[in-house]
Every structure is written in structure tokens, then in C-alpha cells.
Structure 1
């Protein structure tokens, strides 16, 4: 492997590692930056509202605007004879909370869900149980954007993908490896979202950190001239750890209480968003590789192993921090 390749990966690995290390929230891994606001009708036109999942920025700071005929002072809301119909707006969503799920539970009929995001800050409650084409389009845009945000803010997942790229290299071998990883996390994401499998979140987050440490060890083996398991069977390793990371992704949708009829579509577009974000990251790394091939640069011999040890060190920092959270919860 050329010195320039060591240099580019060292710089990229150092940037990712230090950024993740300085963010205490990384210990929480794939926790969702999503709030859930529930309105339950107690008598015609009168609702009780509550945050079933309170946003990180604090409920009191959310700029929530209901239809003009509705009088809102949480936990009470009165919409009179018209009922809860019309536009709902949240205008101050940001990085701490990018999505809010509005759940409307009427006295009669099926509960309805409406998703507000930074990309779609306004939804219209139509007072009908049948989702319209506009509602489906809003759902698609919202959850695709949510998936992109989720993957690009997930430093642990990106660090694992970076390790795979380092070990496997480019070409079809990389395409097959990333495809196997995608199949793995897509399958477990779907199974976990539909409740077919369930793993406690905190132990799972610790396992995700260990998967990154494993890749770091494999990189060191490769540098020493040894052939590790990932180098021999990259697709099997990628698929196996993809299953673990996919269950972690499911944590972003768990507990939101999405309607069963909306869950398949939300899951599909969330996964599409995750894949778009992952592909963008892979293309970025490949672009950096292409760009650095044109530079005449060298790295000291001692610096060749720095990125691998940074990946290992940060992942073990995450592991012990997340493991501590497991025992605190017992």
C-alpha cells in the first residue's frame, strides 16, 4: 500500500475519530432525534396533548402552531365543532430534533399519524382515515431525509464503513462488501421495526462499538502482512455486522407508535435515506483517494498505524462508556 494512501486515511480517520471523541452524545449511538406529540380526543373537539417522547431541545421551546380555530395550552386543546382539521406547523426544528411525529387519537375511528420535519415543517390534518397522495409524498420525503440525517450523524457507523473500505480497497470487491453490509442491516432493520426480533438497546450499542474495534484489529493485522478474517471473507463479515448495525438503526423508529399501515412505507423510505447517506460517504472517501493519488506526499513509517489505532481507541472508548450505561441501567 502506497504512502499516500496511508496519509489520506490517516487524515480522514483522525478527523472522524477526534470529532466523535469530543461528542459525549456518541455514547448514545443510534438514539433518535425525534419527538412524539400525542393528541387524544376526550370529547368532541376537545383534546389532551402530551409529549410521549420529549424532544431534546425541550418541549417548552418548540414553536408549535395549530389550526387557527384551535386553542392550545398544553395539555389542553379545544378545536370546537370543526374538530382538529387544518395545518399544523413547527418552525424551529434543528440538529437536536429533526422530526416530530404528531399522533391524533379520536374518540371514534383509527388513530392517525402526521410527520413534521425540517424539510416539511407543515402538515395538513384532513380529518379522514384514508391517507391522501400528498400525505404519502410528505411521508416519503420526511423519512428519507430522516434516514440521511441519521446515518450522516452516526459517527460509529461511518467509522465502521471507513474500516471496511480500508481493508477491502476499491473495485468490485468493495461494491460486493458494501452490498452485503446493506443487505444485512436492511434485513435486521425491517425485522426489528416489525417486532420480529428485539435486543436491549444499551447492550446492542456496546456490540456496535466492538464491531468497530474488530475492524481496527483487522487493519493492524493487514499492516503486519497477516491475512485477517475480513480480508479473507469481507462479505460474510460485512453481512454479519450489518445485522447488528441494522438493529441499531431500528432504534430510530422504535417507540414512535407509527400506525401499522404507515410503518412499511416509513421503514422503506428511512432505509432509502440511510443508503443515500452511506453511498454519499463511500463516494466521498473514494473521491479523496482519487484526489490524493495526484499528490506527492509521504508519511513517516511510525505514522502508518496511527489511523488504525485511533479507530480502535475511539471504539473501545465508546464500548466501555456504553458498557457502563448497561450496568447503570440494571
Structure 2
């Protein structure tokens, strides 16, 4: 039970650090900027998903041979090739996806983030070593940003840690979750399965509520499904969360030939972010043990009900979107 007390403290600290962003889940701090080539070397830019900072305040920098007069970018004969950056990345705008739609050929996508503030726009020829390096930088960073900005996924993982505890049982449970979301992410990205995004997001919220109920059962001395079969539960809900990860890649105009590599790098980024979060929670547990801190008895049930309340808040908000006319 000592480990459970450690996790209670970890949840309270993390909840304090994640507010108010926790209630927004994947919303805000991201943007998608498309550049459509209207004639050779001339592009028109438009926001298909505007960042929370506001499009008018985005400090966009284009290659030196390009002339920027928004919404037009004129790059002449060389085309839009070279470094693009956004100078004022920060808490209100952490990630911007740059989508380039040429007159001929497939669209290409690049990520600008606080971790990777410069995107090198590549040519349309055959992939080179630089192409693969840029692809790896782009999608590993995008995967890290996506999981660390995805409070719902992190809250689910935290619930699993709470129920399972530490040791090899936790390693196996997190591994099962990874296998589940990796499999469904690949299947969804290649078009083998498809689930409407709004109902899917509601189901993700319900998966967190399920874990919250399982924690309450454990506090009452009952053995819930997750406590009995943590790997099966983690794998099953991992399938649901993986399709949610795939929705992050939808509509980015990825080249079919580069999709397997982009998918691999994105998944690596997700796993790096997830591992960093797990290590953070374990570090808080270690710190709690060293301090020998004990929560008051009245606060023991608060974290479990916090998980349930936040997840149901998300669920009803997402359910309204499902039922609302498009």
C-alpha cells in the first residue's frame, strides 16, 4: 500500500502541473499551415488549423531567396526549398505543421516545434540521406510533442501505473499498451481500418474513466479487471488510443512512399515521450519515498475521483460533438 500512497502524491503533483492544459487534452498550442503552389515558385499560404496564439501573431521566416508577402510566398525558379522557421514558438504555440502542396507530385509535410524549430524543405526528387534525416527529425519530434501534449493519453498511462505498481508487472503492462497502439496506429495509417474521429475521442475518454473506476475498486479492497489482467486491458485500450494517434497524422498529405518511415519515426517519438512520462512518475515516487511524506487520509480518494471527473468531463464534451450536426 506504500506504493499506492506514492502514486497518489505523484498524481496530485502532476495534476497541479498540468492545469489548465489538462482540461484541453489535445486542443490548442498546435497549428497547421498549408502552402499551395499556384504557379512555379509561387505559393499561397493558409491556416487549416490556427494555433492558439493567433495566425496574425505568427513570426514566420522563409528561405532567404523567397519573398514573403502574406499570404503569398514567391521563391522564383528555385522554388520553396530551404529552412523555414517560426521565431516566436512558445507555450501558446508549441507545434506547427507545414504542409507543402506542389503543382505536380505528392504533398509533403514538415513539423516545426520548440524542440525542432527549423524545418528544412526538401526538393521533389528521389529521397536522399538528408531526406531520411529530416523525416526522422520531423516525425520523432512530432510524436514526442503529440504524446506530451495529449493529457488524455498520459492520464490513462498514469492510471495503469497506479493500479499495477512498479517492477516487471508495470514493464509488461506498458509493453502491452505499446504493442496495442502501435498495431492500430499502423493499420489506421495505411487505411486498413477507419473510425470516425469524434466517437473515437469519446471512447478514449471512457477508457480513462474505466481506469478511474478500477482504482476506486482497488481502494475498496476489490480486485478489478485491470488488477487481474493488466496486460489484456492495456492492450485492448492501446488499440483504441493507437487509432487516436493515427488521427494526428490524417490529412497531413504524407507521401505514400515515405509513409512507413514517417509512421515508424512518429511511433518512436510517441514511445520516447511515454517513457519520459513514466520515468517522471517513478522519479516522483522515489522522491516521496525519500521524504517519507504521507497524504492526509481525507485526500486518499481525491486522485481517483479526479481522474474519473476529468475523463467524464471530456467524454460529455466529446459526446456533444458526436451528436451535434456537422
TM-score by length of 1: 0.87
Matching residue of 1:247:
243
Among 66, 89, 97, the residue aligned to 1:100: 97
Provide the C-alpha distance between the structure 1 equivalents of 2:292 and 2:63, rounded to a whole number of angstroms. 62
Matching residue of 1:10:
8
Correspondence 1:156-305 to 2 at 5 A: 156-305=152-301
Change (3 A) 1:122 1:277: closer
Among 42, 46, 64, the residue aligned to 2:42: 46
The alignment status of 1:139 with 2:135, answered yes or no, reads yes
Larger Rg: 1
Gapped regions of structure 2 (runs ≥ 5): none
The alignment status of 1:91 with 2:87, answered yes or no, reads yes
Q: How many residues align?
A: 325
TM-score by length of 2: 0.88
Gapped regions of structure 1 (runs ≥ 5): none
Change (3 A) 1:231 1:59: same
Tell me whether 177-186 or 87-96 shows the greater mean CA deviation.
87-96
Matching residue of 1:306:
302
Q: 1:135, CA displacement in angstroms? A: 2.5
Tell me the alpha carbon deviations over residues 10-37 of structure 1, each in whole angstroms, 9 at most, x when there is no partner.
Answer: 23223444555634762x5478824132
Provide the C-alpha distance between the structure 2 equivalents of 1:281 and 1:48, rounded to a whole number of angstroms. 39
Higher relative contact order (CA 8 A, sep 6+): 1
Q: 1:217, CA displacement in angstroms? A: 1.0
Q: 1:271, CA displacement in angstroms? A: 0.9
Q: 1:302, CA displacement in angstroms? A: 3.5
Query: 2:254 is paired with a residue of what secondary structure?
Result: coil
Q: 1:299, CA displacement in angstroms? A: 3.7
Answer whether contact 1:6 1:299 (CA < 8 A) is retained.
Answer: no
Q: 1:84, CA displacement in angstroms? A: 3.6
CA RMSD of aligned residues (A): 2.6
Tell me the alpha carbon deviations over residues 269-312 of structure 1, each in whole angstroms, 9 at most, x when there is no partner.
Answer: 11111111111111222222233233444444443222212211
Change (3 A) 1:163 1:126: closer
Matching residue of 1:73:
69
